[in-house]
Amino acid sequence: MKQLLERLREQEVFISLDNDKLRIKFNGEKLPDPVLNEIKNSKEEIISYLRQSENKNSDQFQISKTDLPGGYPLSSSQRRIWVLCHFNEGRLAYNTPEFYEFNGQLDVKALERAINLLVERHEILRTVFQEDENGEIKQFILPAEKGSIKIIASDLRNTASANEKLNEILKKENFF
C-alpha cells in the first residue's frame, strides 16, 4: 500500500483521510482514468492503511506535558528579554496591546471565551519569568485560570475625540 501511495504522490496525486472518506487532491486538470480506477479498486485497503498510519502518527507526535514546580531555566534570548523588560526598556517591545475595529454586533463574552480557550490550550501564552526562591530568574507556567485574558471593549464610535479617549484607556490600563 505504501508503494501505491508513493507512486501516486510522484504523479502529484495526494490522498488523505477525512472521516473515513478518501480525499483526493490532484494538481492536473483531470485525474487519469487508470489512476482513478486503481484508487477505486484499492479504496478499502487505502482507508485501512491511512487509518493505521494516522493512529500511529498521533501517538508518535503527542507532546507530553511536564510540570516542574521549580520552573524552567531561561534560554539566553529569554534572559535578554527579561533584562530589557526589567529595566523597562523592552516593555513596549514585548508587551504590545492590540486594537481591533469590529463592524456590527460583537459578542464580547464569546470572544473572550474563545481567546481564553487558546490561552488554556497553549502554555506559552501563560508563561511568565519570575525569580525562584534562590533569586534565579526562571520561567513558570501559570495555571489556566490565572493566565486568563480580560478584554477591554470600548465603543468609541460616537466619541468626539476617540484618539484621546483611547490614549486615556491605555494609560489607565498601564500599557504605556
- 3 state DSSP class of 138: strand
pLDDT tens-digit series, residues 87-116:
765 555 566 667 777 888 889 899 999 999
Domain boundary among 11, 38, 60: 60
**Domain of 108, in residue numbers:** 72-172
Q: Is the pLDDT of residue 62 over 70?
A: no
Q: How many domains does the chain have?
A: 2
Are 127 and 52 part of one and the same domain?
no
How many angstroms separate the Cα of 159 from the Cα of each of 6, 87, 102, 154? Answer: 62, 36, 16, 10
What residues have CB less than 8 Å from 61, skipping those under 6 apart? none
pLDDT tens-digit series, residues 129-159:
888 889 899 998 888 888 778 887 888 778 8
- Burial degree of 25 (CB within 10 A; 0-12, 13-18, 19+): exposed
DSSP letter for 74, please: P
Q: Is the pLDDT of residue 58 over 80?
A: no
Are 94 and 154 part of one and the same domain?
yes
